């Protein structure tokens, strides 16, 4: 099996020299493979480095460049592995899930290579094993702590633990042990592929969070600068009355999500800010994944003029 590895930076590629400076991505993809001694047992590997960014500063322009590279090299290999910083790893995985048909497995590390008990080599090995597995034939996935997760359901759920990635509602797709892969269900990628926007052509989509006492000022500012807005509501997708009034007055596409880790959004409450009130607006749609995954999908849907197709409107 042939697997191509693309490095983009992150903790897996970071080092820290002494006590006077913080960690920064410095290792190339080739150096990561050299440090993962057994990874070559599972596939014939090629490697390149396209970025050296920390996960918390990943840019959509880099995601676009990454997607274009995967679309180019994907048909020539059995799978692609991307190494990435963990903070936005799930968002990049979702971006690739929606733009790439080739199988892609994204991984990273919670501990640097120069820290005791570092997890980068093990995670990279799991990612290569997944990308080389014939059951993983399309879509994007996250390999972490010997588990494989779907890009559509995974989230980073712990700031520093080694088992940082979870799919709270769906669970992992598979568990990798020393000798075999234990499949819980068939791996499936996204059900639609979007074109990749140009590096500087991504629509602007701010994210607004509703919470006790939040007024409309933050939403109004987001709408002024955004081509669309994602709102992380409470419960089933409700917001404060003030934010709800602002959403009703808005003129751009609005996607409502929930701050909750598990469960759908649904229009039940008809008061100001209630999801049933907001569902009556033609420009309001609903998403059932994480707010940040919905933001990635709205960016791509706006660029392709496919918002109504991709999000629920609850219009009967």
pLDDT in tens, the chain (316 residues): 999 999 999 999 999 876 567 889 999 999 999 989 889 999 999 999 999 999 999 999 999 999 999 999 999 999 999 999 999 999 999 999 999 999 999 999 999 999 999 999 999 999 999 999 999 999 999 999 999 999 999 999 999 999 999 999 999 999 999 999 999 999 988 877 899 999 889 999 999 999 999 999 999 999 999 999 999 999 999 999 999 999 999 999 999 999 999 999 999 999 999 999 999 999 999 999 899 999 999 999 999 999 998 988 875 3
- Is 316 part of a structural domain of the chain? no
CATH number, domain with residue 112: 3.40.50.1170
- Is 28 part of a structural domain of the chain? yes
pLDDT tens track for 162-211? 999 999 999 999 999 999 999 999 998 887 789 999 988 999 999 999 99
Based on the fold, state whether residues 63 and 177 are members of the same structural domain: yes
CATH number, domain with residue 301: 3.40.50.40
Q: Which two tokens stand for residue 183?
A: 């499949």
- Is 195 part of a structural domain of the chain? no
Based on the fold, state whether residues 215 and 122 are members of the same structural domain: no
- Is 92 part of a structural domain of the chain? yes
Query: What is the count of structural domains for the chain?
Result: 2
Based on the fold, state whether residues 170 and 227 are members of the same structural domain: no
Q: What is the pTM of this model?
A: 0.95
Based on the fold, state whether residues 11 and 49 are members of the same structural domain: yes
Which residue range(s) make up the domain with 104? 2-183
Domain edge (last residue) among 183, 199, 222? 183
Based on the fold, state whether residues 136 and 262 are members of the same structural domain: no
Task: Please enumerate in sequence order all residues whose Cβ is within 8 A of that of 183, keeping only pairs 6 or more positions apart, or say none.
Answer: 135, 173, 174
Based on the fold, state whether residues 110 and 154 are members of the same structural domain: yes
Active site residues: 11, 86
- Is 192 part of a structural domain of the chain? no
Based on the fold, state whether residues 159 and 111 are members of the same structural domain: yes
- Is 101 part of a structural domain of the chain? yes
- Is 253 part of a structural domain of the chain? yes
Based on the fold, state whether residues 52 and 176 are members of the same structural domain: yes
Helix (H, G, I), strand (E, B) or coil at 205: coil
Q: Which two tokens stand for residue 97?
A: 């899930």
- Is 23 part of a structural domain of the chain? yes
Cα–Cα distances in Å, from 178 out to 119, 144, 149? 15, 15, 18
Between CA 64 and CA 87, with CA 121 as vertex, the angle to 5 degrees is 45
Provide the 10 A C-beta neighbour count for residue 238. Answer: 27
Based on the fold, state whether residues 133 and 24 are members of the same structural domain: yes
Based on the fold, state whether residues 52 and 93 are members of the same structural domain: yes
Measure the CA–CA gap between 48 and 44, rounded to whole angstroms.
14
Strands (E), 234-292: 254-258, 284-286
């Amino acid at each position: 099996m042939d697997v191509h590895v693309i490095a983009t930076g992150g903790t897996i590629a970071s080092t820290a020299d002494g006590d006077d400076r913080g960690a920064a991505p410095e290792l190339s993809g080739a150096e990561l493979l050299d440090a993962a001694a057994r990874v070559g047992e599972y596939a014939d590997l090629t490697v390149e480095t396209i970025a050296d960014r920390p996960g918390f500063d990943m840019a959509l322009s880099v995601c676009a460049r990454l997607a274009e590279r995967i679309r180019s090299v994907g048909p020539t290999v059995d799978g692609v592995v991307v190494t990435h910083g963990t903070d936005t790893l799930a968002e990049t995985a979702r971006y690739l899930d929606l733009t790439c048909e080739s199988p892609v497995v994204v991984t990273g590390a919670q501990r640097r290579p120069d820290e005791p008990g570092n997890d980068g080599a093990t995670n990279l090995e799991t990612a290569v094993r997944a990308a080389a597995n014939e059951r993983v034939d399309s879509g994007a996935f996250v390999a972490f702590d010997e588990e494989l997760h779907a890009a559509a359901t995974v989230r980073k759920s712990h700031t520093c633990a080694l088992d940082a990635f979870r799919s709270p509602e769906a669970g992992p797709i598979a568990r990798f042990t020393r000798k075999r892969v234990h499949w819980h269900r068939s791996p499936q990628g996204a059900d639609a592929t979007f074109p990749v926007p140009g590096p500087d052509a991504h629509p602007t989509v701010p994210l607004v969070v509703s919470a006790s006492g939040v007024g409309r000022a933050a939403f109004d500012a987001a709408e002024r600068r955004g081509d669309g807005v994602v709102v992380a509501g409470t419960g089933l997708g409700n917001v404060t009355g003030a934010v709800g009034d602002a959403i009703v007055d808005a003129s751009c596409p609005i996607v409502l999500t929930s701050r909750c880790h598990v469960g759908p959004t649904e229009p039940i409450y008809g008061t100001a800010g209630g999801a049933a009130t907001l569902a009556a607006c033609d420009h309001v749609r609903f998403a059932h994944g994480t707010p940040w995954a919905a933001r990635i999908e709205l960016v791509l849907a706006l660029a392709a003029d496919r918002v109504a197709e991709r999000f629920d409107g609850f219009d009967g």
